[in-house]
Copies of this chain bind each other. A is one copy, B any other.
Amino acid sequence: MKHLLLSAVAAASLAHPTVAQEPTPIPSPGEIAAAAPASDWIAIAPSDLLVMDLAPDAKGKPRRVVIQLMPAPFSQGWIGNIRKLAAAHWWDGTSINRVQDNYVVQWGDATEKKALPKGLVSVAESEYVAKSVRDFESVSSVNARAFMVKKGLKGPPPPFDKPEDVYTGVVGFAAGFPVAGGPQFEFWPVHCYGMVGVGRNLSPDTGSGAELYTVIGHAPRHLDRNIAVVGRVISGIEHLSSLPRGTGALGFYEDEAERVPIAAIRVASELASAEQPRFEYLSTDNDSFARYADARANRRDPFFIKPAGGADICNVPVPVRAMSGGK
């Protein structure tokens, strides 16, 4: 829920409404997601969560970042390497080394001399794209479903003639992640805010997975199909996005002391059960998500006076939330 109600007083009065008989306002996208039945939410397996603990901040507060790894068939070569790196505790003692405004935060071994664990694979550039994808929900399908729900219609959905994307022909969601598609039925993950990718040097290098970054600005979609996307930050991104910007070329920290130490990175299933974070995402193939996406594209909740009539794929973030009882 991200109203741009711009006074603290107004925000407080919304949180504690005092007028009882106003008509029910049209729900915001966040309210639609929150009201979705439990069956529309899918729990994320702890084995698909990467938990990064930074050194505590200046006030001694812990800083935990949780990353959801992408499901098959996307980027599995790099993700296999990442699992091995985490199992080897390879990142412990490495650091956040680069923070470039409106672009990326990047972490790994600043010395570039730390030996990699054995058994990492070298992944081909062809793996930036997946050849076939199960359960792809195009934005057209989502929009058509929202239209059917609103009108109370059954039967085949109506044709949908708005452009979906200015970068490629088709965009939508696969297993809860934003993806784009091309004419040969190939699909690839897109670089939205919070997505996590694999640093690399010049082609044909594709990176091992030891150097990772996350997006902290406007979606740099020109990176799609040029770098492997392996997941997204689902909790704690503020510990990365609010770091001081680096003053060196490309936002690298110039002074070693500016680097932020990484205490540990683990796959959550390696943690003690009570310590495992638990998250779930809103599945995209149901009426709840269709209504949510429609509301993102056509805001009608009280603050808004003019629905946009559309939304780009990165402005329809898939809802993810902590599960009760989780850490």
Contacts and interface: CB of A to CB of B under 8 A. Distances in A.
Interface of A: 2-12, 14-15, 97-104, 106, 110, 112, 125, 128, 162-168, 192-194, 197, 199-203, 207, 211, 213, 217-227, 237-238, 241-245, 248-250, 252, 296-297, 299, 302-312, 314-315
Given A6-B106, A194-B102, A311 B167 contact: yes
B224 A308 contact: yes
Given A3-B250, A250-B2, A221 B308 contact: yes
Contacts of A112: 7-9
A312 B11 contact: no
| A contacts with B: majority SS | loop
Contact of A222 (B14, B162, B315): B315
Contacts of A200: 6
Most buried by B among A2, A249, A311, A315: A2
A238 B245 CA distance: 7
A322 B222 CA distance: 26
A111 B146 CA distance: 42
Given A4-B213, A218-B314, A308-B224, A11 B249 contact: yes
Given A4-B104, A7-B112, 5 more contacts: A11-B250, A99-B242, A163-B166, A166-B166, A221-B315
A207 B6 contact: yes
Contact of A125 (B14, B244, B305): B305
A176 B296 CA distance: 28
Contact of A202 (B102, B224, B237, B303): B303
B6 A211 contact: yes
A225 B306 contact: yes
A167 B101 contact: no
Contacts of A308: 167-168, 221-222, 224-225
Contacts of A307: 222
Contacts of A15: 249
Nearest to A206: B305
A14 B112 CA distance: 17
A168 B310 contact: yes
Contacts of A243: 242
A202 B3 CA distance: 10
Most buried by B among A12, A241, A245: A241
A221 B312 contact: yes
Most buried by B among A14, A102, A192, A309: A102
